[in-house]
Every structure is written in C-alpha cells, then in structure tokens.
Chains A and B, each alone.
Chain A
Amino acid sequence: MIDAVVKIDAASVDRLIDASEADPEALIGILQDVQKEWGFLPIPALKRVSERLGVPYNRVWAVATFYEAFTFQPHGRTHIMVCTGTTCHVNDGLQVLKAIEDELIIECGQSTPDGKFSLEKVHCLGACGVGPMVVVNDQYHGHMTRAKVIKLLDELKSRTEVET
C-alpha cells in the first residue's frame, strides 16, 4: 500500500466534506467523492476527513480498507474491470481475465508500469444475461471471449498511443 505522491490541499477536501454537510454518517460517500477527485484515497485527505467529521482515525482507516470500492493506488488511465460473477465464470470469464493478464503482462490488481492500464476483477456487475462482461472506463462490453478481448485491447492500446 504505497501512498502515491499527490498534492492534497485541505480546501479541496473540505469542499467535498461540506457537500455532504460534514455528516459523520456520510463517511463512505465522502470517501467515494475523495476517490473520484484524486483517483485513490490519499492518506492526508483521510486524516482531514477524520478531523473534520470528528470520526477517529482508526474508524476512517477501518472503513477505507474494508470496502472494495476504495483503493490507495491510482488506477491506470484505462481501467479494466473483469466480472468474475458466477454467470461470467460458467461462461469462461476466467479465460478472458487470463487473456488480458497475458496481453498486458500484469496480474489482476496491478497497473502497467507506464500507468496506462490497470486491471481488477469484480464480483457481478448485474449484466449476467450477456456475460462474460468486461468494463473499460465505465463502458460495458458483453459476450466477451478471448479473441474479442484481445481485439478490444488492441483498439485501446492504439487509442492511448494517440492520446499520449
């Protein structure tokens, strides 16, 4: 769990806290907003949230590490989620995951060294009728197979080339 280097100014954290009326019960929602802002949960921001909400450090840390949604490392510019729900599993979703791992030469839960791609698996995205499912930066792709996902990755790679 390495804290990525990023500048946190208290005012931006405060803005997010104030948007939820500094309600201690809104802790999870505020952390989701913090993560949206920086792409991950920076420790200084967590401390600020804790102090402003009057929620002790140990509870903020417990919440931040308990829920799957939170990460302490930024995602890659292209974030790929592979569904490993039961339907996707029986339809060979693991092979799709493996194909992506092989193609990007990373393991699930990691980012490529250049920061372009990151990969994680998720439990069921509610699109079981069209599994295996892959989500790329919030875009859903159904009926994936090894061949299709490799084609998709090629497209994504050429797109990120153009962008950079």
Chain B
Amino acid sequence: MKLTSPTQLDQVARDFRASLEGYKTTISLCGGTNCTACGCNEVLEVLKTELEARNLTYTVRLIVTGCQGLCSEAPLISINPDDVLYCNVEPGWIKRIVSDTVIEGKTIPDYCFTDPVNGTTYEKFSEIPFFSDQTRVLLANSPHIDPSDIRDYISVGGYRALAKALFEMEPGEIVDEISASGLRGRGGGGFPTGRKWASGAKAPGDHKWVICNADEGNPGAYMDGSLLESNPHLIIEGMIIGAKAVGAGAPGGGYIYVRNEYPLALSRISEAINEARRWGLLGNDILGSGLSFDIRINRGGGAFVCGESTALMASLEGKPGEPRPKYVHTVEKGYHNEPSVLNNVETWANVPGIILDGAQKYREHGTDASPGTKIFSLVGKVRHTGLVEIPMDRSVRSLVEGIGGGAPEGKKLKAVQTGGPSGGCLPVSQLDLQLDFDVLNEAGSMMGAGGIIVMDEDTCMVDIALHFIRFNTDESCGKCTPCREGLQEMERVLTHITEGKAEMDDLGHLEELGQWMIGGCLCALGATAPHPVLSTIKYFRDEYETHIKGHKCPGGVCRELIEYSVIEANCTGCGDCVTVCPTGAVSGLPDKVHKIDMLLCTKCDECYKACKFEAIGK
C-alpha cells in the first residue's frame, strides 16, 4: 500500500504492533556477515524445524537481524522479552534453548556470555559490559528489528524524521539543523556535513544528486556494511531528508554505491529500496508531500580508490575509478558535472535522529568539535571483537581495554591501529587519547571509517606498515607519479627491512618518500598512504632499528629474521608441536625434550602456537 500522508505512518505502526500481540517470545538470530561465517544459517534451519515441530510458530516470532555487535561470540541469538543473549550457539543447543528458555522461560547460564577474565556469567543481554558500556544510538535497533520488514522500522519510530522534514521544515531549516548538530562526515576526513549540504543547496543546477558511499573497503572496518544489513531504512530515510535539504528531488536523484564484496548488504538495501517504493516512501510525491525522489543502486567493481569522492563519481558514470583533482568540489561539480552531495553510510544514518530530536539533543554526546556517537569496529588481538558505538569523548583505552577486554591470552598490548590504510598506529603510551577526529589527526593517525585494530606483542610493526603499503599499492589507480612510484618504492624498502637487507639510511629515504607523497599526490588515497609507515617510524623506531641493525624481528613475524628453537628448560615433551608440524621438522620422544630441524622448517609458526609451555623460542 502506498502511504499518502504522515499520519498513516502511525497507523502502520499500530497495525504492526497489533499483529505481534499473539507472540509471547521473539527470537532474534543474528544473520550478519560475521555470524554467517560462523554457521548461523545451520542454526537457523534447526531452529525453524524445532519451532515447527513443537507447533510454536504462532507464539514465537523468529527474525533474522543484521549484526548484533558481539562478533567474537558469533553466532548470537537474543531472546526477548526475557533479555537473554546466547553466544557461540551451536545447532545442537537448539532443542534445549526452545524447551528451557522459550517454553519454560528459564535462562541457561552455560550458553550465556561469560567474561573470560573474571568468569562472571551474564544472564541478561543488557548487563553484559560490552553492551552496557556503549551508547547505542545508531545501532539501538539493530539487534531487534527485522531488516526485511519496513513495518518493523516504522513501528520503532522510523520515517517520522522524514515526515517532520517534509511537512514541518523548509530545506534551509534542515541544513541549519544539521549544521547546528556539528555532524562530521564519518567516512574518514570528518568534514562538517552541514557545510557540505549548504554548499550543495547553494550550488546552481536543476539536477542535483545525493549519493551514499557504501564502498567500505577499509580493511578492519565493517560498520557501514553492518548498518546496511541491519537497518537499511535508516540510511534511506537519511538520504530522502538530504534530498529535500539540498534540492536533489526529481529530476535529480539518489545513488547508493555499494561494494560488490558485500552480497548481504547489497541484497538487504535493494530489498529495502523496493519496499520503500511500494510503501510510497520513495518515488513520486513521497507521503503526499510533493517531493519526488528515488534511489538507484550501483554495484562497485572492487576498487578501494572508489571510496574517494571523485573516483566514486567516475565509477558511477561507468568509467574507471580514477580520481581527479578537487580544485572544484564535487558538491558543485560531481556526478555528471552536477552538484552532488556525497556522504557515507554512517553519516546518512545520523541524519534522521538529528532531525527528529534536534541538534541540541545530538550534541549531548561527544565533544564540541566531534559531537555525537561513532561506531567503531573493534577487531584484531582483543578479547571481545565487534561493533561498538560510543561518544567521541571516550579514550582509546576505555574502548580497547574496557569494552574490548584487552589482549587475549595474557599477551601485552602493543599498538592500536586506527584509520585503516590511511591511518596510523598508536603505541600503548597514547592510549589515553580521546577518540575524536582532531586528536587522532594530531597524533599522526586518523579516525578514518572507525576501524580499531588491536595489536599485541606478537605483532611486528614493520610487517604491519608493509601490509598497508602492499594494500595501497594494490589499490592505487596508478594515475599520478608519487602514489604509483612512491608506493612501489616504499614496498621495496620495507621488504628489505623485513628481510634484514636494509640500512639505516633507508629510514630517511622512507620519510622523504612519505613527505613527497603527502605533498604531491593527486588524491587522498595517495596523500594519506604513507601514514602507516610514518607513524610506525615515529612511535616504533626502535623496532625498525632492531630489524636493520640487529637482523631480528621482535614480534617474531618476519620469517627471514626468525629461527625456531626449543627452549629445553620449558619443554615437557608433550608432543603437541610434533602433531601440528606440517613438515615433520619437529621431532622427539614422548616426555623427552624435542628438537627442531631448521632444514625442514617452513616457519609456519604452528609449533609456537601449539606449545602450552612457552618452550618454543623464536
């Protein structure tokens, strides 16, 4: 049915809630990409069969949600109204979950989240510190709504901000509200969204475009994909409001540029757009307001550089994703040389909340210069991985050691990488920095998309720098000299360092290359690409020196520089290392000290990982 007035939204919400009254329990199975990778589809099949077998389909509502957040414990199932979260769910648990929790209302402590440090078991979802320490605004509904049903979104207040923007606000007022909120672009640079919108609104032209950048290629950051998977209508609503604000209604329009590597996000957002059209929230005369606006989806072809605005627009036009100089901004001349307002997924997702509750309320979180909450993907060598939404006045430490629980297995934290391939590595001494745009920039890193990659003592900082340079080399479009040649040269020098073939002068060469690229590259990909190298040289210079002068890799990663040996005093002869060695390089009699034949050793690190007694040295 097509909605033709804002009051009908309330009717839809009432009808939908009424239709749920028959259900006593709601089971929300997380169907995000992380849970999918851990077998949630098998769990779903078993769960469906069990509910049918027990004739519970009329009293139990089963929904597949997007990412619920605690990815290290995937697959996740949450059960409401009991407020229970079961972690690492296996298909074999389903019978007991249905009989005990669903039917009898008893929580099963064995399946609940248990803190690995103090052994506390949390029977309530909302009491788990990983969640209770967060300020979930954008992610608030993700664990609870069915992303494939637009009514579910409407029933939790969805599209009300749109109704307000369409019927109670002038375009200028919307822009002013966004400006007053201080919202800054969540894609990386942190440019003030209000200022961008104001330029877009002012730019002359009948055809204007609003574009959503969902080409999230930043390794380690997956909040944009997760938002599209879990709450696609939030982004659509934000974009329609943006379209009214800047004047991108028909004959202009909207585009969402989605990474092809995100099949689930792609299908969810496509489905959501179709639903929104069916309900009259996209298309002609939205909600009877006179605004006509539609969104088309464009699948990216797999190029990180397309996250750069000019490259993205070239790609939308069906060309190779090569950036052009931004002496004229895309908000004046972008897609088709027409005014184009480009924001990333998370930025658009912030819009409905600001419009509905006002800029003042938005500013209650975060700092003056970086207001609001930010979603971080907390990953790497940290106990609890997942999506975390916190205000931008929190410290790196509270995120990594507090919510994340620090490094696992008693290892020491070494560094935190922020900002992906454009960002830098912060040492432990910088952990008290605030997670806002400007503080991170000053520290030689950046906010980027919000990927927080935690590294422990077993990580080699030179190897990490090389990893990012390789990534950037692969992803460089190759158009301008400093990016193309500079990255290849950095890769060559860093490889030499990891192989123990470098000299101290090479560090100066790397720094010089870095300054050249920062000043000379055509686009932001190239100009920020040296950050991982420069920041690691700045904070971990000794580690570079150990590689160059001592021919040693302190993290035990660079294979050319490590030799494995058995530490005889610790070896119990348990044989675990013998079992895992793929080449038979480790040998020894039971209960006797083992030895490693370096001629056979391929340095795969399996023995080191398998040893429980720290008896393998490297």
Contact = CB atoms under 8 A, between A and B. Distances in A.
B301 A67 contact: yes
Interface string B212-256: 000011111110011000000000000000000000000000000
Interface string A103-139: 0000000000000000000111111111101000010
A90 B455 CA distance: 7
Contact of B222 (A25, A89, A127): A127
Interface in B376-411: 377, 379-381, 385-387
Interface stretch (B257-265, B513-521, B586-594): B257-265
Contacts of B455: 90
Interface residues of A, number: 46
Nearest to A29: B299
Contacts of B33: 125-127, 140
B134 interface: no
A143 interface: yes
Contacts of B303: 66-68
B605 A95 contact: yes
A127 B37 contact: yes
A19 interface: no
Given A86-B468, A89-B467, A133 B37 contact: yes
Contact of B320 (A62, A89, A140): A62
A126 B318 contact: no
A86 B463 CA distance: 11
A55 interface: yes
B321 A90 contact: no
A127 B582 contact: no
Contact of A90 (B36, B315, B459): B459
Given A86-B467, A140-B36, A28 B301 contact: yes
Contacts of A128: 34, 71, 219-222, 377, 379, 385, 451
B580 interface: yes
B553 to A, nearest CB: 14
B220 A63 contact: no
Interface string A135-155: 000101111001100000000
A19 to B, nearest CB: 14
B420 A86 contact: yes
A24 B580 CA distance: 54
Contacts of A73: none
A128 B377 CA distance: 8
Interface string B47-89: 0000000000000000000000001101000000000000000
A92 B605 contact: yes
B298 interface: yes
A158 to B, nearest CB: 19
Contact of A130 (B38, B225, B315, B381): B38
22 contacts: A24-B318, A28-B318, A31-B301, A32-B301, A63-B301, A67-B303, A68-B302, A86-B220, A86-B468, A86-B471, A90-B381, A90-B464, A95-B606, A122-B261, A126-B33, A126-B265, A127-B36, A129-B386, A129-B387, A133-B37, A142-B37, A146-B604
Given A25-B317, A146-B582, A147-B580, 19 more contacts: A24-B318, A25-B318, A66-B320, A85-B220, A89-B467, A90-B455, A90-B459, A98-B604, A124-B219, A124-B261, A125-B261, A128-B221, A128-B385, A129-B222, A129-B379, A133-B37, A140-B36, A143-B37, A146-B604
Interface of A: 24-29, 31-32, 55, 59, 62-63, 66-70, 85-87, 89-92, 95, 98-99, 102, 122-131, 133, 138, 140-143, 146-147
Closest 10 CB pairs of A and B: A129-B71, A67-B301, A68-B302, A85-B219, A142-B37, A140-B37, A27-B318, A124-B219, A126-B222, A69-B302
